């Protein structure tokens, strides 16, 4: 997929699951389970043991899955992730070097930001999206709405504290997508190796996003 294709798919599916697991095996299981549930996008944080190998394996085993790298904090690591097949790069905060590597290599970037200044800097650097993190801790959907008022041209992704009860509010506030972790991929479901549990949750989140977007469009 091209950078434009990946960007379009992220906006279409609008959910980016993060598999912040304590082992490579758990991360592989979680990623493939959520894809089976209808969300073929996954972020593999660099905190996962052997994260780059996990990215490489997921890309090889699941050619239709969009596999990205999370918590990418420097240019060297960014390049290693891209070489492993990562289709997008994201980070907890704004890392200009990481965005530069992504732009140069034709890979989607969604750096983290919190303040308006950080969001503007991230967008000006060439980022495809700006991930507002940690979103819920600073006001949740109301904060996204406040940012969108002066920054209507910046595509924002809400991350941190998104769940089934509040997900619609983020889209109604103007977010183009959301990042979700344990609320979509429960640790217990991974421990018990119950992919149907995760797949069911994925289906529920897809339904909620579709419904929220319908309301927003009308």
Note the pLDDT of residue 214. 85
Q: Which two tokens stand for residue 58?
A: 């997921």
Note the pLDDT of residue 215. 64
Note the pLDDT of residue 3. 97
The residues assigned a catalytic role are 43, 131
Note the pLDDT of residue 216. 54
Averaged pLDDT score across all residues of the chain = 96
Q: Which two tokens stand for residue 74?
A: 């420097």
Residue 94 CB-half CA count within 13 A:
20
pLDDT in tens, 13-38: 999 999 999 999 999 999 999 999 99
CATH entry, 3-217, from 3.50.50.60, 3.20.20.70, 3.30.310.10, 3.40.1410.10: 3.20.20.70
Angle, in degrees to the nearest 10, between helices 51-61 and 24-36: 30
The values of phi and psi at residue 49, to 5°, are -55, 130
d(Cα 80, Cα 159) in Å, to the nearest integer? 24
Mean pLDDT by 10 residues, the chain (218 residues): 96 97 98 97 98 98 97 98 98 96 98 97 97 94 97 97 97 97 97 97 97 71
Note the pLDDT of residue 218. 41
DSSP 84: H
């Amino acid at each position: 997929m091209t950078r434009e294709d990946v960007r379009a798919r992220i906006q279409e599916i609008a959910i980016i699951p993060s598999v912040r697991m304590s082992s490579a095996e758990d991360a592989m299981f979680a990623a493939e389970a959520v894809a089976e549930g209808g969300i073929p996008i996954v972020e593999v944080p660099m905190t996962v043991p052997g994260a780059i190998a996990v990215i490489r394996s997921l890309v090889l085993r699941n050619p239709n899955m969009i596999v990205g790298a999370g918590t990418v904090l420097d240019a060297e690591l960014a390049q290693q992730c891209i070489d492993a097949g990562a289709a997008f790069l994201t980070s907890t905060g704004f890392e200009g070097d990481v965005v530069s590597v992504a732009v140069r290599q034709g890979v989607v970037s969604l750096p983290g930001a919190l303040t308006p200044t950080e969001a503007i800097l991230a967008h000006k650097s060439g980022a495809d999206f700006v991930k507002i993190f940690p979103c819920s801790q600073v006001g949740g959907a109301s904060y996204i709405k406040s940012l969108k008022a002066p920054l209507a041209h910046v595509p924002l992704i809400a991350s941190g504290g998104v769940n089934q009860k509040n997900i619609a509010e983020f889209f109604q506030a103007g977010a183009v997508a959301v990042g979700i972790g344990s609320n979509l991929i429960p640790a217990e479901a991974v421990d018990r190796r119950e992919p149907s549990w995760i797949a069911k949750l994925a289906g529920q989140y897809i339904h909620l996003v579709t419904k929220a977007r319908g309301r927003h469009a009308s």
